[in-house]
């Protein structure tokens, strides 16, 4: 997929295609001349997306699929092969989340997040890789997020899933290193303006709002199409990810502690909101389209966005301070006297 003529007609499977980044990616590939196989739990929502992609000129197949069901994902791969005769690109995009204190979030919610965000992506790869090996080529694109680099207090299972997905993807890439035309690619977007924040589970009893900057989902979709054209191990969308990645490497637990403090302050003053399982166990009543509607709003920092962003900045500042020769000696002395 390096030339325009080769991209035309590429068979692209997209999971989590009913809204947000998934829908934006489907439309981007439709404009690029791809043949699409769209998957998500909500068949009606998929049909709406497929209808728009067909208007854009893309042959489109809809396969309602729960990626936590390995047999269902194998069926998705079979349908894609029957539809297009091959699979050129598989975009593994499903992602769910929950905000709440770990012990106040139901164990079933933690388990479902791991099943969707980690096991679901492994199921995708388990179905796609044998097809790629038989073909001798293919591009598998994992949607991870900045959560693969920096922990999110009050979203413990989400953090576990994203750290785990990063490790899984790196392991799979290493296994397939002797296959030059099979590529495992990772996407790490910053905070993105999708309906996902409204759809997510919320066990805090407080309304959650994102803090700028939140990025257009179409920007992430363009990065995904770019990976299909020129595969590489990872692409980062949003400069905040670089900052948080560096902050985590230099500060480790310091950033997470700072994020937790910011979140706790936010929860104390945020508006009340219902406790809800969100879309963890069932599709949302309203898929919501591509945009979350947050880019035009100025809200207070959210646990998912503001706390981590502030913590990343603080960690970087502390690391730079500690790197000064006079301060390294002082900090070592402070740790000997019980400083955290």
**Which of the residues are catalytic?**
158
Residue among 32, 75, 29, 66 nearest 50 (CA): 29
Cα separation, 213 vs 298, in Å, equals 10
Which residues does residue 235 pair with via DSSP β-bridges, in sequence order?
187
Nearest to 158 by CA among 212, 100, 199: 100
**Burial (CB count within 10 angstroms: exposed 0-12, middle 13-18, buried 19+), residue 2:** exposed
Cα–Cα nearest to 52, from 26, 87, 78: 26
Provide, for the chain, the percentages of residues in helix, strand and coil under a 3-state DSSP scheme, each rounded to the nearest 5: 50, 15, 35
At 55 the three-state DSSP class reads: helix
288/291 Cα distance (integer angstroms): 7
Nearest residue to 244 via CA among 303, 307, 311: 311
Q: State the residue for tokens 């791991």.
A: 114
Q: How far apart are CA 249 and CA 253, in angstroms?
A: 10
How buried is 202 (Cβ within 10 angstroms: 0-12 exposed, 13-18 middle, 19+ buried)?
buried
Long-range contacts of 319-324 (CB under 8 A, 24+ apart): 319/246, 319/247, 319/250, 319/251
C-alpha dist (Å) from residue 255 to 49, 90, 316, 320: 39, 34, 9, 14
DSSP assignments along 69-112, one per residue = -HHHHHHHHHHHHHHHSS--EEEE-----EES-GGGS-HHHHHH
């Amino acid at each position: 997929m390096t030339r325009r003529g080769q991209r035309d007609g590429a068979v692209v499977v997209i999971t989590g295609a009913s809204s947000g980044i998934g829908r934006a990616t489907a439309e981007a590939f439709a404009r690029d001349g791809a043949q699409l196989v769209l998957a998500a739990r909500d068949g009606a929502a998929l049909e709406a997306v497929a209808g728009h992609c067909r208007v854009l000129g893309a042959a489109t197949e809809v396969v309602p699929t729960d990626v936590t069901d390995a047999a269902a994902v194998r069926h998705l791969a079979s349908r894609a092969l029957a539809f297009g005769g091959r699979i050129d690109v598989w975009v593994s995009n499903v992602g769910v989340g929950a905000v709440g204190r770990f012990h106040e979030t139901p164990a079933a919610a933690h388990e479902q997040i791991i099943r969707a965000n980690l096991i679901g992506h492994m199921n995708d790869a388990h179905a796609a890789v044998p097809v790629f090996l038989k073909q001798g080529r293919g591009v598998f694109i994992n949607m991870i997020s900045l959560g693969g680099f920096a922990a999110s207090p009050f979203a413990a299972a989400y953090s576990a899933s994203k750290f785990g997905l990063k490790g899984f993807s790196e392991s799979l890439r290493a296994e397939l290193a002797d296959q030059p035309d099979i590529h495992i690619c990772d996407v790490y977007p910053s905070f993105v303006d999708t309906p996902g924040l409204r759809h997510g589970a919320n066990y805090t009893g407080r309304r959650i709002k994102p803090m700028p900057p939140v990025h257009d989902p179409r920007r992430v979709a363009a990065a995904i199409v770019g990976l299909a054209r020129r595969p590489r191990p990872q692409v980062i969308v949003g400069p905040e990810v670089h900052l948080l990645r560096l902050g985590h490497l230099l500060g480790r637990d310091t950033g997470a502690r700072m994020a937790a403090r910011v979140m706790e302050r936010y929860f104390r003053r945020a508006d009340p909101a219902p406790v809800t399982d969100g879309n963890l166990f069932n599709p949302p009543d309203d898929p919501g389209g591509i945009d979350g509607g947050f880019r035009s709003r100025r809200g207070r920092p959210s646990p998912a966005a503001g706390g981590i962003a502030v913590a990343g900045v603080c960690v970087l500042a502390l690391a730079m301070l500690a790197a000064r020769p006079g301060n390294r000696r002082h900090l070592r002395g402070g740790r000997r006297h019980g400083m955290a």
